């Protein structure tokens, strides 16, 4: 007689014990399937919520230049690049940048109204930015943007050095006019002359506006003109602004305050890549000045099907932090005023003469784009290349993982104890039968195979009944949670986790069954 037939007859002869074993195993499978599916559904729902809120990009290189962008495009492991080219900061629409189709997919942007821009005259604005602009929450409105591309203060140290060679105190004193106000003139032999210049021109449909501030130091009481200040003096402040009218085609729910881009500027308003090229063309092709020094920055969002959330760790040493340029402010004028104050004076005279300076009288530039776009990251010591920790948090040792393993471990132990308890009640009777089989020539391996067949038959019944019931219960549990609690849980099966649970139950069952063989 075949060993499998012996195993079947043995199970039929122990109907009560067999029924108890099948019940225990079936319940174990029901519990493990229901718990793992419910756990997977909750975790998958959390993941989808994170992706909706924080984007599904795996890593990003923020404020990168053209060189970084071209290098990333050549990386074979990177499957998709969402690109947002930052044009500048608008006084009414926040940071203005472009978008591509990949960015729309990665960002999971949700429209409050309207649609995404399609032509170069359309713009899409964040919901909170619409409120800041004082506009109605409607599409189709026209908005005139004034985009500050950059503003900068220029170092004046070279100009001051040139002044030292140009002016001599004795010569200036000899040429002072004979006037009753001479004593007041001699406090300072030099004076500062400031000139504020605004120029503009149209480059295509874009109005380019430049603001240039100059300073020139001349002997006191000398003639000065704006032309002399610009030609002989030095520029200490420079700002470039682009003006263009757009039509609001869409309003998106705000995202820039949620994404894991700490300290880096994200676009509050999006224009098409075609519109971005038009604005960039105006920067480099205006006749108002040479702005080839200005580097366009990109926010580059990356996705990899193979590396997934390991993309950052794979490339982090290859793309290190890019240090920003040192930002200067209007204190660059201090070098000039210190020179005027010290010029032609002895140490004793310097102690008696109040320092001349006009820094407090200068107008203040309120919108400093450089601080917004590139230097805040230096102050906070942030890295350009970032992992999307909000969407893909590190789960090593997390509560979620511990909970899943705990559930499986508890069911493993409970199943093993229940099966062992059933066998314990019949262990002596089974041991005698096994000993009898040994006495008529059965080997240990044959006895093991008989028990193995018994286990397979019982396990098969548990799997056939337990898994479908467990899936159905999990589905009903998720459905009831969504119906009565409005949780929004999405039914999801994690094959790996469910497989681990099935293996754990099966292993617990066979471990408990092994005791009669060991006892015998």
Tokens of residue 306, six digits: 């193979």
Q: What pLDDT is recorded for position 242? A: 97
3 state SS of 251: strand
Q: What pLDDT is recorded for position 431? A: 62
3 state SS of 324: coil
Tokens of residue 300, six digits: 């580059």
Tokens of residue 117, six digits: 């821009």
Domain ranges of the chain: 3-52+395-519, 56-144+246-322+361-387, 152-235+332-358
User: What angle do the packed helices 15-54 and 399-425 form, to 10 degrees?
Assistant: 180
Q: What pLDDT is recorded for position 363? A: 40
Long-range contacts of 127-132 (CB under 8 A, 24+ apart): 127/251, 127/252, 127/253, 127/254, 128/254, 128/257, 129/93, 129/94, 129/254, 129/268, 129/269, 130/248, 130/251, 132/92, 132/94
Location of structure tokens 């079936």: 26
Binning the chain into helix, strand and coil, the percentages to the nearest 5 are: 50, 20, 30
pTM of the full predicted structure? 0.78
Q: How many residues does the chain have?
A: 520
| H or E element, residue 157 | helix 157-166
Mean pLDDT per block of 10 residues along the chain (520 residues) reads 61 68 87 90 90 95 94 95 96 94 95 95 94 87 95 93 87 70 62 94 96 93 89 95 96 94 91 97 95 95 94 91 76 88 75 56 43 42 83 71 79 78 64 63 66 78 91 92 80 90 84 64
Neighbouring C-beta atoms of residue 175, cutoff 10 Å: 10
């Amino acid at each position: 007689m075949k060993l499998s037939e012996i195993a079947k007859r043995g199970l039929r002869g122990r109907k009560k014990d067999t029924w108890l074993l099948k019940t225990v195993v079936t319940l174990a499978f029901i519990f493990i399937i229901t718990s793992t599916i419910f756990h997977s559904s909750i975790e998958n729902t959390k993941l989808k919520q994170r992706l909706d809120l924080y984007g599904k990009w795996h890593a990003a290189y923020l404020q990168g230049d053209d060189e970084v962008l071209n290098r990333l495009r050549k990386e074979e492991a990177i499957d998709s690049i969402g690109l947002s080219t930052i044009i500048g900061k608008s006084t009414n629409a926040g940071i203005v940048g472009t978008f591509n189709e990949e960015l729309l997919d990665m960002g999971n942007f949700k429209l409050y109204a309207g649609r995404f821009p399609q032509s170069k005259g359309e713009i899409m604005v964040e919901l909170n930015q619409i409120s800041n602009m004082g506009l109605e929450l409607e599409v189709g409105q026209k908005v005139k943007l004034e985009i500050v591309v950059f503003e900068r203060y220029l170092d004046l140290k070279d100009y001051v050095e040139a002044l030292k060679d140009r002016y001599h105190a004795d010569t200036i004193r000899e040429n002072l006019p004979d006037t009753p106000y001479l004593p007041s003139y001699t406090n300072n032999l030099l004076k500062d002359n400031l000139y504020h210049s605004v120029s503009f021109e149209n480059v295509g449909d874009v109005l380019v506006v430049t603001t240039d501030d100059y300073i020139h130091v001349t002997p006191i009481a000398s003639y000065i003109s704006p032309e002399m200040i610009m030609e002989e003096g030095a520029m200490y402040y420079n700002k470039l602004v682009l003006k263009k009218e757009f039509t609001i085609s869409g309003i998106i729910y705000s995202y820039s305050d949620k994404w894991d881009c700490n300290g880096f500027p994200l676009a509050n308003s999006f224009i098409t890549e075609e519109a971005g090229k038009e604005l960039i063309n105006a920067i480099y092709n205006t006749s108002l000045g040479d702005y080839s020094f200005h580097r366009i920055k990109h926010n580059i969002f990356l996705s990899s099907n193979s590396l997934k959330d390991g993309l950052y760790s794979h490339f982090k040493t290859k793309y290190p932090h890019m240090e920003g340029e040192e930002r200067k402010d209007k204190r660059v004028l201090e070098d000039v005023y210190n020179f005027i104050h010290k010029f032609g004076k002895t140490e004793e005279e310097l102690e008696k003469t109040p320092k001349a300076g006009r820094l407090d009288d200068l107008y203040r530039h309120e919108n400093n784009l450089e601080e917004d776009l590139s230097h805040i990251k230096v102050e906070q010591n942030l890295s350009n290349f970032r992992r999307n920790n909000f969407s893909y948090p590190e789960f090593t040792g997390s509560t979620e993982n511990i909970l899943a393993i705990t559930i499986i471990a508890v069911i493993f132990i409970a199943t093993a104890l229940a099966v062992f308890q059933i066998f314990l009640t019949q262990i002596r009777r089974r041991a005698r039968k096994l000993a009898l089989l040994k006495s008529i020539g059965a080997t240990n391996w044959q006895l093991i195979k008989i028990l193995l067949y018994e286990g397979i038959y019982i396990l098969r019944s548990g799997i056939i009944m337990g898994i479908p019931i467990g899936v159905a219960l999990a589905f009903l549990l998720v459905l009831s949670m969504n119906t009565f609690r409005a949780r929004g849980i999405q039914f999801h099966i994690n094959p790996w986790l469910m497989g681990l649970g099935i293996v754990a139950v099966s292993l617990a069952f066979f471990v408990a069954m092994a005791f009669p063989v060991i006892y015998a």
